[in-house]
Structure 1
Amino acid sequence: MKKLLLGSVCGLGLAAGPALAADLGVPVRAAPVAVVVPGFSWTGFYVGANAGYGGGKFDYPFNAFQRQLQAEAPAIESRLDGRLGLTSGGFILGGQLGYLYQFDNRLVAGVEADFQWSGIEGRLSGTGTLTGTGTLPGTFSLDAGSQVRWFGTLRARLGYAWDRALLYATGGLAYGQVRSHADISAANGGTPIPGLTGGVATSHTRWGWTVGAGLEYALTQNWSFKTEYLYVDLGTSNVLSSAVDDPGNGFSAGASMKVTTRFHTVRAGINYRF
């Protein structure tokens, strides 16, 4: 009988233990909660700086002519046409700013504007012979050069993100200042030929287009590093245009030269994202 009573009391005590502990405010450990870490997003504004190297070709299409009428004889004529190609190169340094938006499917789209100081330049010189009918042929010499003093772009960017890595294509408008000079000398028997001798220096702000691609990697939540290639075409501008027309003596002469500016750039940069 005593054993039965003692067992009943112990059973009641065990059953009442959890309830009593709850009433007394004894802490109970909760189940752990999983913490979700958000993935990296490229959405936002950014600003940065870059440096690199650029180079390509300056093309110079040119022509020169002279015509002298003769009494009771065919006109004496000389003409020179051609195209000169000049390899260029130099360092570039600048900055950029832009905005990117990342979609749920990892596509990233945005716009970027940049402005570059440029040391891309080249120079050429050469001599030749003016040939034609009659007895007029003489000598011809040329010294010319061009420099891209600065340029900038306004481009769209479209890419695909693998978390912190972004591979993208880019393209849009380009503009820049191209400074060119040309000194031309043509002579017949040591006598300069009017209209074919002279020098000129010009500076033009040109508009064109650009296309390229790049890879950007986020080092931290705010800082990223990128490498980028761009092809830039600033079109064609006039360097030299001269003419002499003397109908009374039946004499005419002229010369012209243009420059076409195209170059490649490879650069590396760093961006700060807001």
Structure 2
Amino acid sequence: MKSKLALIGGALLLSTSAYAADLPMEAAPAIVAVPSFSWTGGYVGAQVGYAWGDANFRAAGGSLSAKPKGWMVGGYAGYNIQLDNSPLVLGIETDFNWADIDRTRGAFGASAKTQTDWTGATRARVGFAVDRVLFYAAGGVAYADREVKVRAGRLGAKDNKTAVGWTIGGGVESAVTDNVVVRAEYRYTDLGKDTFRLAGVPVRSKYEHRVMAGVAYKFGW
């Protein structure tokens, strides 16, 4: 009797195994890779900043140094390319700002004022991305309006030029969403030594520092 039960149990076990082998195998669920953030794409933004610099007023009797400073507000636009499977980001950017940067200095009954009403720059950028944070350096051509006013008693004169020089700096950007990017940066700008001759007073505008903050809308991935 025990032998018969053992034979029946073995037969049932074999038939169950054969049936299970004939059942269709369910495919494992596919793993979909979620793409990481990419800095590639164009962008446009708005910014605000503060600048301070140096200007020298020279006349036959000596010289006078002024420290122009003030605020600016404007916009910027550019394009970045992040190299495949690399944290390296390359880009180009241009900006334009309305400015209120000036300083007046006086001596011996005369005064001289240097003033900047607008500034701009076109820069190449290179950055290192850590996911949604980008550390970058940028440099290129800078340009600005420089107006000079000289007054002695009731006599006065003014002149203006477009100063052209170079700028270099760096900053950090953070993508708070896939399309919104905020930034903070510092720039050093050398606008050369343009000379204005007003009432016999040469004026040389030399350099400028600035700090900027901005927010931009980024297009695409």
The one-character-per-residue Cα deviations of 1:226-252 (angstroms, maximum 9, x if unpaired) are 11001122223343345xxxxxxxxxx
Residue type at the aligned position of 1:86: A
How big is the alpha-carbon RMSD for the aligned residues of Structure 1 and Structure 2?
Answer: 2.4
Tell me which residue corresponds to 1:119.
100
Within 5 Å, which residues of 2 pair with 1:70-89? Answer: 80=61, 82-89=62-69
Alpha-carbon distance change, 15 to 204 in structure 1, aligned in 2, over 3 angstroms: same
Give the Cα–Cα distance (whole angstroms) in 1 for the partners of residues 139 and 179 of structure 2.
25
Contact 1:60 1:84 in 2 (8 A): yes
Give the Cα–Cα distance (whole angstroms) in 2 for the partners of residues 160 and 175 of structure 1.
27
Displacement of 1:209: 1.1
Give the Cα–Cα distance (whole angstroms) in 2 for the partners of residues 205 and 15 of structure 1.
94
Compute the TM-score of the two structures, normalised by the length of structure 1.
Answer: 0.71
Compute the TM-score of the two structures, normalised by the length of structure 2.
Answer: 0.86
Within 5 Å, which residues of 2 pair with 1:25-36? Answer: 30-31=27-28, 33-36=30-33
Q: Which has the larger radius of gyration?
A: 1
Identity of aligned residues (%): 39
Give the Cα–Cα distance (whole angstroms) in 2 for the partners of residues 230 and 166 of structure 1.
17
Displacement of 1:42: 1.5
Give the Cα–Cα distance (whole angstroms) in 2 for the partners of residues 238 and 273 of structure 1.
41
Give the Cα–Cα distance (whole angstroms) in 1 for the partners of residues 76 and 2 of structure 2.
90
Question: Does 2:204 match 1:259?
Answer: yes
Residue-pair matches, total: 218
Give the Cα–Cα distance (whole angstroms) in 2 for the partners of residues 16 and 7 of structure 1.
14
Residue type at the aligned position of 1:269: G
Alpha-carbon distance change, 224 to 19 in structure 1, aligned in 2, over 3 angstroms: farther
Residue type at the aligned position of 1:210: T
The one-character-per-residue Cα deviations of 1:197-242 (angstroms, maximum 9, x if unpaired) are 9421122222111111111122222222111001122223343345
User: Structure 2: which 5+ runs fail to align?
Assistant: none
User: Structure 1: which 5+ runs fail to align?
Assistant: 64-79, 128-140, 186-196, 243-254
